[in-house]
Amino acid sequence: MDGLVIKNTGSWYVVHTDNGEDVNCKIKGNFRLKGIRTTNPVAVGDRVTISVNPDGNAFITAIQPRKNYIIRRASNLSKESHIIAANLDCAFLVVTLAHPVTSTTFIDRFLATAEAYRVPAVLLINKVDLLTDDDDKEYCEAVASLYRTIGYDVLEISALTGEGMTELRERLKDKISLFSGNSGVGKSTIINA
């Protein structure tokens, strides 16, 4: 039975099968992908094959080739990497220009990683409702213009007020998407909206 990995909770994976069922699965044995040295052989977004044993336990038995993925250095300080998500239609980098401030260095590093692994990226400038004075608004326009000039889509949104959320929802429809960004930029608020 084939499906899409929609959640990873450590050693368990939730696979949404092609027949619409969500199945809790484990990886059988020492399951590793050829040519990719990562801490996690299976990632959210992977298309997988699963088998269910007569006792009801389900296991991931195969991973279909990935079209792309987003990766970061593993948090355990090893030389290995950690795949954040695979087979993405789009990676949305959520940033804020105030409360907290996201540095352009952070933005550039994320966009470079997305480019390197062939993941289309969109910059989401969240909390634009907090940019009340002219200097803040001018800075937002400058940042948006900079990234648009080099070829990126930029959406200015406010998850709190709903500004720009309709366009974002349209871009998410029937897509496999990733939301990434620093703590406090509003990823959970966007997802909950």
pLDDT digits (tens, 9 = 90+) for 24-40: 999 876 665 555 567 78
Q: What is the CATH number of domain 2-70+78-85?
A: 2.40.50.140
Q: DSSP per residue over 71-118, as a string?
A: EEE-TTSSS-EEEEEES-SEEEEEEEBSSSBPPHHHHHHHHHHHHHTT
Q: What is the mean pLDDT of residues 8-29?
A: 90
Tell me the C-alpha to C-alpha distance, in Å, between residue 31 and each of 25, 39, 72, 77, 159: 13, 11, 20, 22, 40
User: Over 70: is that where the pLDDT of 56 sits?
Assistant: yes
| pLDDT tens readout for residues 40-51 | 889 999 999 999
Q: Which residue has the higher pLDDT, 115 or 77?
A: 115
Q: Residue 60 has what pLDDT?
A: 94
Q: Residue 83 has what pLDDT?
A: 87
User: Over 70: is that where the pLDDT of 98 sits?
Assistant: yes
Could you give the count of Cα atoms lying within 13 Å of 108 in the half-sphere of its Cβ?
6
User: Over 70: is that where the pLDDT of 84 sits?
Assistant: yes
Domain extent listing, the chain: 2-70+78-85, 88-192
Residue 144 CA to residue 127 CA, distance in Å, equals: 14
Give the pLDDT band of residue 171 (cuts 50, 70, 90). very high
Q: What is the CATH number of domain 88-192?
A: 3.40.50.300
Q: Which residue has the higher pLDDT, 107 or 53?
A: 107
- Hey, do 2-70+78-85 and 88-192 end up sharing a CATH topology, with the first three levels equal? no
Q: What is the mean pLDDT of residues 57-84?
A: 82
The whole-model pTM stands at 0.86
Q: Residue 32 has what pLDDT?
A: 55
